[in-house]
Structure formats: structure tokens, C-alpha cells
Amino acid sequence: MGCVIMSYKLLDGKDLAARMKKAMSKEVEKLASEGIVPGLAVIIVGNDPASRIYVNNKRKDCEEVGIKSFEYALPEETPEEELLGLIDALNQDSSIDGILVQLPLPRHLDEVKVIRRISPEKDVDAFHPFNVGELMIGRPVFAPCTPAGVMELIKDANIDVAGKNCVVVGRSNIVGKPMAMLMLHENATVTICHSKTRDLKAMCSKADILISAIGKANYITADYVKEGAVVIDVGINRNAEGKVTGDVDFPEVSKKASAITPVPGGVGPMTRAMLLKNTIKACNMHNKKSLS
Ligand code: NDP
């Protein structure tokens, strides 16, 4: 009987996130011995089922490492002024180090206005224009969780980024654009693609590092991928049976890739871990501790 030899490295986000959480638990324990408990406030407006799952997961993650989580579940029809008032109060509350507003918000609420109201030093999602600007000039205090999680995975696997061709597919403010910026700061040569890109396949097949954040199941097939490329799949898609898949056709692409993330178990757990990391960082900053 022949055996199958895997020629690619699996970029296991679940494993790395677990290692990071272990280290963070120790850090939080040390803070607790000094009477300091990091606090994360999560605001959810309305009844979006996916948002509810994300918020529940955030609470569990906080519990796991010893961060105190505060949840504010507001009804769908909450007036904007009320939400902004809550953010103002949390900005002033010294037991809160991080504030996160779960997106998307109901249509009557102005997301940009709401995010702008969060104090940048408590903006652990790094969506506030101040933090976006800091990222742009290469000195981020907080990096957005998903792209930052991808960078951790790449570093942990000792993948050299400098000088490589990196293609990011997707240009959203929360994934594609900051992802491209982080890769650029690590000296990759970066191309950002989107739905209007001509000949996406040709662009992607030049990538040494291909990062897909589209949101279309199995869109990136093997013919988009160069032999030996590193492939990062940010996409989260659910099929009719509710099964989660990425943007990348894993069985076929993994035959060509030198390293690849699975979905689930790749970027998702890293996003969650980075939120905890940003919250602890915010706590250290608020308590004027040196940052690790
Ligand atoms: P958006 O819908 O905001 O952005 C999708 C991007 O993909 C857009 O820039 C869009 O282009 C581009 N796009 C769509 N179709 C194509 C196509 N056929 N060819 C090329 N580009 C295309 O999504 P997000 O950035 O918020 O998220 C992307 C994916 O990542 C989703 O599946 C989401 O669920 C997942 N996600 C995963 C996270 C994780 O932790 N793993 C965290 C956050 C998101 P255009 O701008 O032209 O419309």
C-alpha cells in the first residue's frame, strides 16, 4: 500500500492560537497579582445570528485567558445617540481597556460615526481612522485582528516575506487593505486585487504569497496558484448544510502550495487570539506598563 506524503506545511491557526492563549493567560495572571484585570466591552446591536455567535466566542475566549468581558446587547431599534452615549461612558470607564462594536450594525446606524466615537486607545479592533492612519505610516499601536493574525501565522512558520510577490484578493477596510499594508511593511511587493481586477487568475499565479479574502467558496482553484506558493485563506463561507469552507479549493491547491491554511482552523482562531492580545496591550498601555 502506498502512503500519501504531504508536501505542504499546514499553517495551523488553531494550534498557534492555543499557544498564544497559554502565554496570554500567564501574562494576565501576572497582572492580576498586581490587582490589574484587563477588561473588554463588547457591544452588539440587534439579533444577527452570526454576530451573536461571534460575540459568544469572544466572551468564551476572554474567560479562557482571564480577561473580564462586559457585554452590552442592545435592541435592533436602538437610537444612534443612545449607542454613542454608551460608547462615551465606556471611554471614561477605567475598568474597560478595550471597546468593540460588533459589525455589521443595523442600517439606521452610521458605522463610521460609531467607530469614530471609540477612544483610539481602546479601539482593540483597530478600525478607528486614527489607528488606520498609524498602521498606514508603519507604527500601529493596534493592528486589525485578522491581518495581524495572518502575520503571526507567517512569522511562526518562519516564512520570509521580504522581496516576495504578495497578492491580496479583497480590498475591504477590515481585511484586504490592512493586510496589504502589513505585508508592505514587511517588505513584500504587494498587489491588491478586487472584483474589477482584469484577469485575476494571471495576477494570482504570480504570487509567492497569495492571500484570499473574497468570501466565495472554492473560488481560488489550483490554476490560480503558482507551484510552491504560500496560500492564506481568510474566507469564511457556509454551504447549504452549514459547513464552513474557505475561498480556496484546499484539496487541489494544497498539492501545489508549499504552505497553506485550512478552513476552519486557520485564520479564524488567529483573529480571535489577536483580539485578546490587543486587549492585553491596551491594558498594559492604560496601566503604563512596557509593551511586549
Ligand atoms: P467584503 O465583502 O467586505 O470584501 C470582499 C472583497 O472581495 C471585496 O474587496 C471584493 O471586491 C472582493 N471580491 C469579491 N468577489 C471577487 C471576485 N470574484 N474576484 C476578486 N475579488 C472579489 O468582505 P471582508 O473583507 O469583510 O471578508 C472577506 C472574507 O473573509 C469573508 O468570507 C469573511 O467572512 C471572511 N472573514 C474572515 C475572518 C476570519 O477571521 N477568518 C475575519 C473577517 C472576514 P470589490 O471591493 O470590488 O467589491
Q: Which of 236, 238, 244 to mutate to test the pocket of ligand 1 (most atoms within 8 A of CB)?
A: 236
Q: Are residues 98 and 196 in the same domain?
A: no
Residue-wise pLDDT for 234-249, tens only, equals 999 998 898 999 999 9
- Domain assignment present for 274: no
Q: How many CB atoms lie within 10 A of CB 15?
A: 13
Number of folded domains that form the chain: 2
Q: Are residues 89 and 196 in the same domain?
A: no
Q: Are residues 175 and 255 in the same domain?
A: yes
Q: How many CB atoms lie within 10 A of CB 93?
A: 14
- Domain assignment present for 21: no
DSSP, res 208: S
- What is the arithmetic mean of pLDDT over 138-146? 96
The number of helix segments (H) and strand segments (E) in the chain equals: 10, 11
Q: Are residues 151 and 225 in the same domain?
A: yes
Judged against a pLDDT cut of 70, whether residue 3 lies above it is answered with no
Does the CB atom of residue 263 touch ligand 1 within 6 A? no
Q: Which of 11, 54, 167, 172 to mutate to test the pocket of ligand 1 (most atoms within 8 A of CB)?
A: 172
Laid out side by side, the sheet with 39-45 consists of 68-74, 39-45, 98-101
The domain that holds 82 is classified in CATH as 3.40.50.10860
Judged against a pLDDT cut of 80, whether residue 167 lies above it is answered with yes
Q: What is the pLDDT of residue 219?
A: 98
Name the residue with the closest Cα to ligand 1, atom 30.
235
Q: What is the pLDDT of residue 289?
A: 73
- Domain assignment present for 280: no
Q: Are residues 155 and 233 in the same domain?
A: yes
Q: How many CB atoms lie within 10 A of CB 76?
A: 12
Q: Which of 11, 53, 145, 194 to mutate to test the pocket of ligand 1 (most atoms within 8 A of CB)?
A: 194
Ligand 1 centre to CA of 31 (Å) is 37
Helix (H, G, I), strand (E, B) or coil at 221: coil
- Domain assignment present for 207: yes
Domain span at 223: 145-268
Backbone torsions φ then ψ of 169, nearest 5 degrees? -100, 115
Q: What is the pLDDT of residue 6?
A: 61
Does the CB atom of residue 196 touch ligand 1 within 6 A? yes
Q: Are residues 98 and 171 in the same domain?
A: no
Q: What is the pLDDT of residue 17?
A: 98
Closest ligand 1 atom to residue 215 Cα is 32
Residue 243 appears among annotated catalytic residues: no
Q: Are residues 163 and 83 in the same domain?
A: no
Residue 125 appears among annotated catalytic residues: yes
- Domain assignment present for 172: yes
* pLDDT mean across residues, the chain: 96
- Domain assignment present for 191: yes
Helix (H) or strand (E) holding 154: helix 145-156
Q: Are residues 97 and 167 in the same domain?
A: no
Name the residue with the closest Cα to ligand 1, atom 48.
195
The domain that holds 200 is classified in CATH as 3.40.50.720
Does the CB atom of residue 201 touch ligand 1 within 6 A? no
Q: What is the pLDDT of residue 19?
A: 98
Q: Are residues 255 and 151 in the same domain?
A: yes
Residue 92 appears among annotated catalytic residues: no
Residue-wise pLDDT for 52-68, tens only, equals 999 999 999 999 999 99
- Rounded to 10 degrees, the C-alpha dihedral 44/46/50/52 comes to 50
Q: Are residues 112 and 162 in the same domain?
A: no
Catalytic residue, candidates 21, 58, 177, 256: 58
Q: What is the pLDDT of residue 2?
A: 53
Judged against a pLDDT cut of 60, whether residue 232 lies above it is answered with yes
Closest by CA to 182, choosing from 143, 235, 145, 233, is 143
Ligand 1 centre to CA of 213 (Å) is 4
